[in-house]
Amino acid sequence: MFSLEREVFMSKGMIFRYILIFFIISISLTASCREERKARNLYVEAVMHAELKENEQAISKLNTAVQLNKKYSMAYSLLGDIYQEIREYEKSADAYEKATKLFPWSFDDYFNLGKVYQIMEKFGPATRGYSRACELDNTSFEANYNNSQCFYLLEDYDNALKYGARAEQIDSNSIQVQKMLGSIYEEKNDYEQAVKYYKRVLEKDSLNTSIMNSLAMAYIKTNRNEPARELLLSVVQLESENNQAYRYLGYCYLKLDSIDKAIESYSRAIEIDYSDWDAHRGLGVAYILKGRRDDATVEPAYKAKAIEHWNQSLTIKPDQPGADKLTNLIRGYSNTENN
């Protein structure tokens, strides 16, 4: 009997405990629902402020909304949009990061995350955003093209090519993607492919001197020096102050064994831009070749000019590619009276 009464008492206690727990949960859920409802209302008000370009008021409403509901991905997304519009890119990226963690299926949030990181020149995080955007929508030209750009700037040319090729599949008539693919192939030392894409660009934009220079260099790299020379002469006719074209002409004339014209072209490049370390370096080589005698020694006057320009090249850019080799050349020609 006592045992039965005890069981009844314990059962009543358990029931009371469950009722109390249910009551507490109900209150919590009611409070939570009330906060979520308030957060939604604040979001709607923020949208209205944003449409009226009242960005400070919109940001204030959204910050309160995410305090009430920390899982409100749409509020973080709108915060990202507003911060992006007013060019507060760090805050924009932070908002998009939170939005994408809460809702990892939003193409727009991942794309915009990549975009603001790209604007800030944080290309690694940018590729993370763009790559996920491409997974969500592989038909987006902008996401694939922008991702290709970022990988290119990271010198990850394989991934740059992957996304650039996809962008070309989406829009095969895009000049900008053909320029990009030409640049990628050039960096990968695939000059035949680079020539193909640069030619395609020039078919649509025949007076694009930047692409003409790039095509000329690809020609030089494949020993098509005459077509390169003709193309570069066309560039300097169009733009008489095109420093790069004159520098490339100097290199082209060296390949053609026209030393005087190489000296003339490099000198003109330096006249246009004295800080062109590469032209100084090339001019030094041209002077050595100009002064070389039959016995392989170099006339002192030309050797002095070469050393002068090589030193100037290193002064302008001490960390240039092949700096050690150039330093050794300077030392070798300086220490040898008749080298």
188: CATH: 1.25.40.10
**Which of 77, 102, 127 is where one domain is finished?**
102
Assigned domain for 217 exists: no
* pLDDT of the residue at 44: 83
Residue 96 and residue 161 in one domain: no
Residue 201 and residue 160 in one domain: yes
pTM attached to this predicted model: 0.82
Residue-averaged pLDDT of the chain: 89
* pLDDT of the residue at 19: 38
Residue 197 and residue 172 in one domain: yes
How many Å is the maximal CA-CA distance in the chain?
127
- Which token pair is 56? 């400070």
Give the number of domains in the chain: 3
CA distance 119 to 148: 15
Cβ distance 279 to 268 under 8 Å? no
CA distance 149 to 144: 9
CB atoms within 10 A of CB 280: 24
Residue 289 and residue 318 in one domain: yes
Residue 129 and residue 165 in one domain: yes
Assigned domain for 148 exists: yes
Report the amino acid identity of residue 337: E
Q: Say how far residue 217 (Cα) sits from the centre of its chain.
A: 23
Q: Residue 281 belongs to what domain range?
A: 274-339
Assigned domain for 259 exists: no
Assigned domain for 159 exists: yes
**Which of 86, 102, 118 is where one domain is finished?**
102
Beta carbons within 8 Å of 4's beta carbon, 6+ residues apart: none
Assigned domain for 19 exists: no
Residue 126 and residue 190 in one domain: yes
Assigned domain for 132 exists: yes
Residue 79 and residue 42 in one domain: yes
* pLDDT of the residue at 27: 38
**Which of 148, 179, 206 is where one domain is finished?**
206
- Which stretches of the chain score pLDDT less than 50? 1-2, 4, 6-10, 12-31, 338-339
